Amino acid sequence: MFTGIIEELGKIASLEKHTDGAKIKISASVVAKDTNEGDSIAVNGVCLTALDVKTDSFTADVSRETLDKSTLGRLKNGAKVNLERAVTPTTRLGGHIVQGHVDSRGKFVSAVQNGDFWTVRVSFPKEIGQYLVYKGSISVEGISLTIAALGADFFEIAVIPKTWEMTNLSDLKAGDEVNLEADVIAKYVERILLYGRRESGENITMEKLAKLGFVK
Protein backbone atom coordinates (compact mmCIF):
# COMPACT_ATOMS: atom_id res chain seq x y z
CA MET A 1 0.00 0.00 0.00
CA PHE A 2 1.12 3.56 -0.75
CA THR A 3 0.00 7.07 0.12
CA GLY A 4 0.67 8.91 -3.13
CA ILE A 5 3.39 11.10 -1.63
CA ILE A 6 6.29 10.93 -4.08
CA GLU A 7 9.73 10.42 -2.54
CA GLU A 8 11.96 10.70 -5.57
CA LEU A 9 12.09 11.28 -9.31
CA GLY A 10 13.88 8.32 -10.82
CA LYS A 11 14.90 7.71 -14.42
CA ILE A 12 14.35 4.80 -16.77
CA ALA A 13 17.77 3.22 -17.33
CA SER A 14 16.47 0.46 -19.61
CA LEU A 15 13.26 -1.24 -20.68
CA GLU A 16 13.53 -4.67 -22.28
CA LYS A 17 10.28 -5.99 -23.70
CA HIS A 18 9.62 -9.67 -24.29
CA THR A 19 6.64 -11.85 -25.16
CA ASP A 20 5.08 -12.04 -21.71
CA GLY A 21 6.00 -8.59 -20.40
CA ALA A 22 9.14 -6.58 -19.79
CA LYS A 23 12.07 -5.99 -17.45
CA ILE A 24 12.60 -2.43 -16.35
CA LYS A 25 15.65 -0.88 -14.70
CA ILE A 26 15.30 2.39 -12.83
CA SER A 27 18.04 4.70 -11.61
CA ALA A 28 17.23 5.90 -8.10
CA SER A 29 19.05 6.52 -4.85
CA VAL A 30 16.52 7.59 -2.20
CA VAL A 31 14.06 4.70 -2.58
CA ALA A 32 16.83 2.14 -3.12
CA LYS A 33 18.48 3.05 0.17
CA ASP A 34 16.37 0.91 2.53
CA THR A 35 14.84 -1.40 -0.05
CA ASN A 36 15.36 -5.15 -0.06
CA GLU A 37 14.66 -7.59 -2.86
CA GLY A 38 10.96 -8.36 -2.93
CA ASP A 39 9.87 -5.01 -1.50
CA SER A 40 7.20 -3.00 -3.30
CA ILE A 41 7.89 0.31 -5.02
CA ALA A 42 5.30 2.36 -6.89
CA VAL A 43 6.58 3.54 -10.26
CA ASN A 44 4.30 6.20 -11.75
CA GLY A 45 1.59 4.70 -9.58
CA VAL A 46 2.22 1.08 -10.58
CA CYS A 47 3.14 -1.32 -7.78
CA LEU A 48 6.26 -3.26 -8.79
CA THR A 49 8.47 -5.74 -6.94
CA ALA A 50 12.05 -4.52 -6.57
CA LEU A 51 14.76 -6.90 -7.77
CA ASP A 52 18.54 -6.66 -8.07
CA VAL A 53 18.58 -3.69 -5.71
CA LYS A 54 21.74 -1.57 -5.82
CA THR A 55 22.65 1.67 -4.05
CA ASP A 56 21.59 3.67 -7.10
CA SER A 57 19.14 1.47 -8.99
CA PHE A 58 16.71 -1.44 -8.99
CA THR A 59 14.99 -3.60 -11.58
CA ALA A 60 11.48 -5.03 -11.78
CA ASP A 61 9.52 -7.44 -13.92
CA VAL A 62 6.42 -5.98 -15.57
CA SER A 63 3.59 -8.30 -16.62
CA ARG A 64 1.76 -8.07 -19.93
CA GLU A 65 -1.40 -7.00 -18.07
CA THR A 66 0.48 -4.10 -16.46
CA LEU A 67 1.97 -3.03 -19.80
CA ASP A 68 -1.50 -3.04 -21.37
CA LYS A 69 -3.18 -1.20 -18.49
CA SER A 70 -0.53 1.39 -17.66
CA THR A 71 1.89 3.72 -19.43
CA LEU A 72 5.05 1.86 -18.37
CA GLY A 73 5.50 0.13 -21.72
CA ARG A 74 5.57 3.49 -23.50
CA LEU A 75 8.39 4.98 -21.47
CA LYS A 76 11.75 5.73 -23.10
CA ASN A 77 15.23 5.58 -21.63
CA GLY A 78 15.85 8.67 -19.55
CA ALA A 79 12.17 9.30 -18.83
CA LYS A 80 11.46 10.61 -15.34
CA VAL A 81 9.26 8.45 -13.11
CA ASN A 82 7.59 9.09 -9.77
CA LEU A 83 8.80 6.72 -7.05
CA GLU A 84 7.37 5.81 -3.66
CA ARG A 85 8.19 2.99 -1.28
CA ALA A 86 5.38 1.04 0.36
CA VAL A 87 4.11 2.39 3.68
CA THR A 88 5.08 0.91 7.03
CA PRO A 89 2.95 0.68 10.21
CA THR A 90 4.59 3.89 11.48
CA THR A 91 4.28 5.88 8.24
CA ARG A 92 2.17 9.03 8.24
CA LEU A 93 -0.68 8.65 5.75
CA GLY A 94 -0.01 11.96 4.07
CA GLY A 95 -2.09 11.33 0.97
CA HIS A 96 -4.78 8.68 0.59
CA ILE A 97 -4.84 4.90 0.25
CA VAL A 98 -3.15 4.05 -3.05
CA GLN A 99 -2.84 0.38 -3.99
CA GLY A 100 -0.63 0.77 -7.03
CA HIS A 101 -3.28 -0.98 -9.15
CA VAL A 102 -3.86 1.27 -12.16
CA ASP A 103 -7.50 1.41 -13.28
CA SER A 104 -6.96 3.06 -16.65
CA ARG A 105 -4.94 5.54 -18.66
CA GLY A 106 -6.08 9.14 -18.87
CA LYS A 107 -4.60 11.99 -20.89
CA PHE A 108 -2.83 15.12 -19.80
CA VAL A 109 -4.78 18.00 -21.32
CA SER A 110 -3.20 21.20 -20.00
CA ALA A 111 -1.42 22.95 -17.15
CA VAL A 112 -2.12 26.61 -16.40
CA GLN A 113 0.07 28.52 -13.97
CA ASN A 114 -1.62 30.77 -11.40
CA GLY A 115 1.11 32.49 -9.41
CA ASP A 116 3.18 29.70 -7.84
CA PHE A 117 0.42 27.12 -8.32
CA TRP A 118 -0.68 25.09 -11.33
CA THR A 119 -4.14 23.98 -12.46
CA VAL A 120 -3.78 20.69 -14.30
CA ARG A 121 -6.56 19.21 -16.44
CA VAL A 122 -6.69 15.47 -17.14
CA SER A 123 -9.23 13.62 -19.28
CA PHE A 124 -10.48 10.23 -18.12
CA PRO A 125 -12.22 7.26 -19.80
CA LYS A 126 -15.87 6.58 -19.12
CA GLU A 127 -15.26 3.38 -17.12
CA ILE A 128 -13.85 5.21 -14.08
CA GLY A 129 -16.19 8.21 -14.12
CA GLN A 130 -18.47 6.77 -11.43
CA TYR A 131 -15.60 6.69 -8.94
CA LEU A 132 -14.67 10.37 -9.25
CA VAL A 133 -16.21 13.04 -7.03
CA TYR A 134 -15.60 16.74 -6.45
CA LYS A 135 -13.04 17.16 -3.64
CA GLY A 136 -12.39 13.41 -3.75
CA SER A 137 -9.02 11.70 -4.10
CA ILE A 138 -7.41 10.49 -7.32
CA SER A 139 -3.96 9.07 -8.03
CA VAL A 140 -2.33 10.51 -11.16
CA GLU A 141 1.03 8.96 -12.05
CA GLY A 142 1.11 7.73 -8.45
CA ILE A 143 0.57 11.20 -6.97
CA SER A 144 -2.20 11.63 -4.41
CA LEU A 145 -4.27 14.60 -5.63
CA THR A 146 -7.62 16.21 -4.88
CA ILE A 147 -10.19 16.82 -7.60
CA ALA A 148 -10.79 20.58 -7.68
CA ALA A 149 -13.17 20.57 -10.65
CA LEU A 150 -15.04 17.74 -12.36
CA GLY A 151 -16.51 17.58 -15.84
CA ALA A 152 -18.16 14.84 -17.88
CA ASP A 153 -14.84 13.51 -19.16
CA PHE A 154 -12.17 15.52 -17.37
CA PHE A 155 -11.09 16.65 -13.93
CA GLU A 156 -8.81 19.42 -12.71
CA ILE A 157 -6.33 19.34 -9.87
CA ALA A 158 -4.56 22.18 -8.09
CA VAL A 159 -0.85 21.43 -7.86
CA ILE A 160 1.31 23.12 -5.23
CA PRO A 161 4.89 24.22 -6.09
CA LYS A 162 6.50 21.35 -4.16
CA THR A 163 4.51 18.70 -6.04
CA TRP A 164 5.24 20.41 -9.37
CA GLU A 165 8.95 20.37 -8.53
CA MET A 166 9.15 16.84 -7.06
CA THR A 167 7.14 14.92 -9.70
CA ASN A 168 7.04 14.37 -13.44
CA LEU A 169 3.91 16.52 -13.93
CA SER A 170 6.05 19.39 -15.17
CA ASP A 171 7.45 17.17 -17.95
CA LEU A 172 4.07 16.17 -19.38
CA LYS A 173 2.81 17.53 -22.69
CA ALA A 174 -0.73 17.78 -24.04
CA GLY A 175 -1.88 14.34 -25.17
CA ASP A 176 0.56 12.39 -22.97
CA GLU A 177 -1.06 9.39 -21.28
CA VAL A 178 -1.06 9.17 -17.47
CA ASN A 179 -1.83 6.35 -15.04
CA LEU A 180 -5.04 6.79 -13.06
CA GLU A 181 -6.14 4.96 -9.93
CA ALA A 182 -9.49 5.84 -8.38
CA ASP A 183 -10.11 5.79 -4.63
CA VAL A 184 -10.51 2.15 -3.57
CA ILE A 185 -13.27 3.08 -1.10
CA ALA A 186 -15.54 4.08 -3.98
CA LYS A 187 -15.01 0.69 -5.61
CA TYR A 188 -15.99 -1.17 -2.45
CA VAL A 189 -19.11 0.95 -2.01
CA GLU A 190 -20.13 0.18 -5.59
CA ARG A 191 -19.52 -3.54 -5.08
CA ILE A 192 -21.56 -3.61 -1.86
CA LEU A 193 -24.48 -1.83 -3.51
CA LEU A 194 -24.49 -3.85 -6.70
CA TYR A 195 -23.57 -7.33 -5.48
CA GLY A 196 -26.33 -9.77 -6.35
CA ARG A 197 -28.56 -7.08 -7.82
CA ARG A 198 -27.32 -7.18 -11.40
CA GLU A 199 -28.05 -10.89 -11.64
CA SER A 200 -31.54 -10.43 -10.20
CA GLY A 201 -32.32 -7.47 -12.43
CA GLU A 202 -32.82 -5.18 -9.43
CA ASN A 203 -31.77 -1.59 -10.07
CA ILE A 204 -30.31 0.93 -7.65
CA THR A 205 -32.55 3.98 -7.28
CA MET A 206 -32.31 7.17 -5.25
CA GLU A 207 -35.15 5.86 -3.07
CA LYS A 208 -33.26 2.66 -2.28
CA LEU A 209 -30.07 4.61 -1.56
CA ALA A 210 -32.04 6.83 0.83
CA LYS A 211 -33.38 3.79 2.68
CA LEU A 212 -29.85 2.50 3.06
CA GLY A 213 -28.75 5.81 4.50
CA PHE A 214 -26.57 6.95 1.59
CA VAL A 215 -28.82 9.85 0.59
CA LYS A 216 -30.56 12.32 2.88
pLDDT digits 0-9 by tens, 52-95: 999 999 999 999 999 999 999 999 999 999 999 999 888 888 88
- Better-scored residue on pLDDT, 166 or 204: 166
Q: What is the pLDDT of residue 85?
A: 96
- Better-scored residue on pLDDT, 94 or 11: 11
Strands of the 46-49 sheet, one edge to the other? 46-49, 40-43, 80-85, 8-18, 21-27, 57-63
pTM (predicted TM-score) = 0.88
**Which residues of the chain form CATH 2.40.30.20?**
8-85, 104-184
**Predicted confidence (pLDDT) at residue 199 exceeds the cutoff of 70:** no
Confidence of residue 45 (pLDDT cuts 50, 70, 90): very high
Spatial separation of the C-alpha atoms in residues 54 and 32, rounded to whole Å: 7
For the domain made up of 104-184, give the CATH fold: Elongation Factor Tu (Ef-tu); domain 3 (2.40.30)
Report domain 8-85's class.
mainly beta
Share of the chain above pLDDT 90, in %: 79
Please answer whether residues 53 and 40 qualify as being in contact, where contact means their C-beta atoms are separated by less than 8 angstroms.
no
